[in-house]
Amino acid sequence: MAIPEELISRLRSARSVAVLTGAGISAESGVPTFRDAQTGLWAKYSPEELATPEAFRRNPKLVWEWYAWRRQRVGSVKPNAGHVALVRLEELVPEFTLITQNVDGLHQKAGSRHVLELHGNIRRSKCFDEDVVVEGWEDSKEVPPRCPRCGGLIRPDIVWFGEALPERIFAEAEQASAKCDVFFSIGTSSLVYPAAGLAYSALSGGALVVEINPGATSLSTEASYSFREAAGKFLPELVRKIPGKA
């Protein structure tokens, strides 16, 4: 596909680049996107019913088992060419901030060094009562397991519907988006705020905003460029053209 020369030259001269990724960048790794239909045993539930503190209070075992199933599915997948291209992009620009809504840890697995996880990480757990990360617990047969410190229930360290994003992490993401020269929105439906608002902070900061998504979103008409492309195909081609700086 044709990549506009103007975009390449803006990337070559960019001091800072910010990237927001969503479930779409992991789709080519085989991780279903958030709004893909749930499969198998979980088909009869919608994420909105399970990913809430109320659902956990009501049925902690069901919610814990749903995340255990998702963790097991994510455990075996590998980063794809899109994740790897972002590791390369990080090397090519002076200031690079990678912000993700994904909880699969694939950016870190690909080698991205500094990842702002707005919605947590499915591989991390925390105490429901103390809201503190728990590294390990006694392997009793109880599901969900209990916090070794206070005996409270352990939950996934994931931001659930109705919960606030980690404040410091979002503030850093917001600041990076507002001051960057180029902002990428990759593989996100741009439906969920405040994450979806970051592209608008970039626009009002005067950044060039680039969307990469096979489907159109509400950002598509606002972005400087909107490529109807898969991240795993488009990103490597784009990043390959950047070196050879003028």
Task: In whole angstroms, give the CA distance from residue 88 to residue 230.
Answer: 18
Task: In whole angstroms, give the CA distance from residue 45 to residue 130.
Answer: 28
Nearest distance from C-beta of residue 13 to ligand OAD, angstroms: 26
Nearest distance from C-beta of residue 21 to ligand OAD, angstroms: 8
Q: Where are the alpha helices (DSSP H) in 80-160?
A: 81-92, 106-110
Q: Which of 19, 20, 27, 110 binds ligand OAD (CB under 6 A)?
A: 27
Which position has the token pair 């001091």?
Answer: 15
CA angle 118, 196, 69 (to 5 degrees): 50
From 4-12, 26-34, 83-91, 121-129, span contacting ligand OAD (CB under 6 A) = 26-34
Q: Which of 39, 215, 245, 246 binds ligand OAD (CB under 6 A)?
A: 215
Q: Is 114 a catalytic residue?
A: no
- Please report, for residues 28, 101, 132, 154, 243, the alpha-carbon distance to residue 129 in angstroms, rounded to integers and kept in the order given: 36, 24, 8, 8, 50
Q: Which of 16, 33, 175, 220 binds ligand OAD (CB under 6 A)?
A: 33
24 binds ligand OAD (CB under 6 A): yes
Nearest distance from C-beta of residue 103 to ligand OAD, angstroms: 7
Q: Which residue is nearest to ligand OAD (CB)?
A: 24
Catalytic residues: 119
